[in-house]
Amino acid sequence: MDPKLPTRPLLSHLFFVSILLLTIFHPRADSQGEYCRHPARPVVITPHNRSDSEPQQVHISLAGRDHIRVSWITEDKKVQSVVEYGTAPGKYDAVATGKHTSYQYFFYRSGKIHHVRLGPLKPETTYYYRCGGHGSEFSFKTPPSTFPIEFAVVGDLGQTEWTKSTLEHVAATDYDVFLLPGDLSYADSQQPLWDSFGRLVEPYADGRPWMTTEGNHEEESFPIIYPHGFTAYNSRWVMPYEESGSPSNLYYSFDVAGAHVVMLASYAEFEPGSPQYKWLEADLARVDRRITPWLVALLHAPWYNTNLAHQGEGESMRVAMEELLFKARVDVVFAGHVHAYERFTRIFDDEGNACGPVYVTIGDGGNREGLALSFKSPSSPLSLFREPSFGHGRLRIFNGTHAHWTWHRNDDSQSTMADEVWLGSLVSSRNCMRDSGDDGLQVQPSASSKDEL
Ligand SMILES: [Fe+2]
């Protein structure tokens, strides 16, 4: 057990015991296909084994044009929120000072949470950095400024042995930016699990930007005391909401290479007239498809879903916001929440539509709750591929017109590509751009093939 974890009340111990029992007695899924589909695996507690002044839980995120935010935690409250950095190991020719915060949740008090914004930085460049003047050197690579760019996409990550497998698979091949459509730590109010999660993901999140949006497991609200929730998430995982004109850390957007990525909130108001709706409307209106020909959206509760789990939970948000995304010609929407993989065709308003987004559910990162094994039968003709397995996805955008989407199943702990499709950008469809009222683009339509959407 982690020696740095504070003494927990009896309730917390019961929580860990219940996780253990749930894990042991989880019914084993039948073998399907050519491999054995495993049940959930135990939660992994990642111990704190550094000094109080050394940084822990280091992660980075994109923070506006040519900037990166470095976030970390120290137990020592005297450590300054400064990051020294440079392009050669041990040679720091720049220093940035940032902010810090902390929070209390019932009897738990967090460490000092530091957030420091670095930049302007050069694209596709490795920077070496040290946090707070103490401890080891870290390094990250900035994303490219032009195509190609590759996103790793993983939802509902958790912190189990399956999570570790998924992260190892993601890291085995280079990528530029990590996208997480909600449900990170599965702390579920047990705050030390947020710290354990931060330590588990540090070896990955300290080197590539991790861009997250919130899931239901981030909420952690409690009547009267914490009515608004998201205290831990908003304190620890600060995203570029200020940089993108959003009033809330729960929804924001960013540009990277030739992609505009919109991170939406399934758990904030989304009706027309709400702050999120108004922000999204304005954000999409600002997108210049000549600079960012690809438009990608992420949210937690899927709008389209043929799994029996979480049926209809994204429906009210879909009704409120789908037309905004459709009219903006969003290319692809990634969701989590359902612990399985599912890829749909292009859809608008429950029907196939060549100008609608491709919908992908990818809530299969490996959390302790296990897989959502049952799908509706018969399937919908809109659903093109579905499988309840742990895994991760990769979106490699080659240029302004073509991207390749792949889904990699955790196949008995080995990574196996199980689904793939070529995507043509909607900006390259003259018909779709004419219908959207944007005639400022004259990109030649791409040749389509049987396996291209
Ligand atoms: Fe969820």
- pLDDT value of position 21: 36
Tell me if residue 310 is catalytic. Answer: yes
Give the predicted TM-score (pTM) of the model.
0.90
pLDDT at 27 over 80: no
* Candidate from 26-35, 107-116, 283-292 with smallest mean pLDDT: 26-35
Query: Which of these, 168, 165, 232, 240, lies nearest to 209 by C-alpha position?
Result: 240
Residue 66 has pLDDT above 70, yes or no: yes
- Cα(392)–Cα(155) distance, rounded to whole angstroms? 8
Q: Report the amino acid identity of residue 116.
A: V
Element of type H or E holding 325: helix 315-327
Q: What percent of the chain has pLDDT over 70?
A: 88
pLDDT band at 453 (very low <50, low <70, confident <90, very high): confident
Helices and strands of the chain, counted as H and E runs: 7, 24
Q: How far is the CA of 213 from the centre of ligand 1 (A)?
A: 11
Nearest to 23 by CA among 367, 410, 364: 367
Residue 161, C-beta contacts closer than 8 angstroms, at least 6 positions apart:
41, 42, 44, 366
Q: If you write DSSP's letter for every residue of 383-450 in order, what string do you get?
A: EEEEE---EEEEEEE-SSSEEEEEEEEEETTEEEEEEEEEEE-GGG-HHHHHHTT--S--PPPPPP-T
Give residue 437's pLDDT band: very low, low, confident or very high (50, 70, 90): low
Active-site residue among 217, 300, 310, 337?
Answer: 310
Residue 43 has pLDDT above 50, yes or no: yes
For residue 404, the cross-strand partners are 396, 422
Span from the CA of 155 to the centroid of ligand 1 (angstroms): 9
Adjacency order of strands within the sheet including 210-212:
210-212, 177-180, 149-153, 391-397, 402-411, 414-424
* CA 216 to centroid of ligand 1, rounded, Å: 5
Average pLDDT value for residue range 202-223: 97
pLDDT band per the 50, 70, 90 thresholds, residue 434: confident
Q: What is the mean pLDDT of residues 3-25?
A: 39
Mean pLDDT of the region 397-424: 94
Report pLDDT for 42: 87
Query: In angstroms, rounded to a whole number, what is the distance separating the alpha carbons of residues 176 and 164?
Result: 19
Tokens 């957030």 found at: 115
List the single range of 37-46, 64-73, 205-214, 413-422 with lowest mean pLDDT: 37-46
* More confident site: 5 or 72: 72
Q: What is the CA(317)–ligand 1 centre distance, in A?
A: 15
Across 86-123, b (16+ Cβ under 10 Å) vs e yields eeeeeebeeebebebeeeebeebebbbbbbbbbbebee
Task: State the Cα–Cα distance between residues 20 and 14, nearest whole angstrom.
Answer: 10
pLDDT in tens, 282-291: 999 999 999 9
Q: How many residues are given for the chain?
A: 453
The better pLDDT of the pair 39, 266 is held by: 266
Please, where in the chain does CATH 3.60.21.10 lie?
149-435
| More confident call, 426 vs 22 | 426
CATH superfamily of 149-435: Metallo-dependent phosphatases (3.60.21.10)
Query: Residue 323 above 60 pLDDT?
Result: yes
- Distance between CA atoms of 35 and 383, rounded to whole angstroms? 23
**What is the pLDDT confidence band of residue 251, given thresholds at 50, 70 and 90?**
very high
CA 96 – ligand 1 centroid, Å? 36
Summarize the confidence of residues 84-112 as an average pLDDT.
Answer: 98
Eight-class DSSP state of 88: B
Mean pLDDT of 418-428: 97
- pLDDT-based confidence at residue 309 (cuts at 50, 70, 90): very high
What is the pLDDT, as a whole number, of residue 296? 98
CB 410 within 8 A of CB 390: yes
Task: Check residue 310 and give its pLDDT.
Answer: 97
Residue 337 is classified by DSSP as S
CATH 2.60.40.380 in the chain: give the residue spans.
Answer: 56-141
* Model confidence band, residue 36 (pLDDT cutoffs 50, 70, 90): low
- Given a cut of 50, whether residue 414 has pLDDT beyond it is yes
Which range, 5-19, 210-224, 429-443, has the best average confidence (pLDDT)? 210-224
Identify the band that residue 411 occupies on the pLDDT scale cut at 50, 70 and 90. Answer: confident
Check pLDDT > 70 for residue 444: no
- Cα 58 to ligand 1 centre (Å): 24
How far, in Å, is the centroid of ligand 1 from the Cα of 359?
17
- Asked if residues 175 and 393 have their Cβ atoms less than 8 Å apart, the reply is no
Does pLDDT of 449 surpass 90?
no
**pLDDT attached to residue 183:** 98
Q: Is 200 helix (H, G, I), strand (E, B) or coil?
A: helix
According to DSSP, the residues that pair with 208 across neighbouring strands are: none
Output the six-digit token pair for 254.
């960013």
pLDDT of 44 above 50: yes
Average pLDDT, the chain: 90
Q: Taking residues 373-392, what's their average pLDDT?
A: 95
User: What sign results for the dihedral spanned by CA atoms 190, 247, 331, 292?
Assistant: negative
pLDDT at residue 390 above 80?
A: yes
- At the fourth CATH level, the homologous superfamily of domain 56-141 is Purple acid phosphatase-like, N-terminal (2.60.40.380)
CB 168 within 8 A of CB 414: no
Q: Which residues pair with 342 in a beta bridge?
A: 361, 386
C-alpha dist (Å) from residue 174 to 10, 149, 207, 270, 281: 44, 10, 11, 35, 34
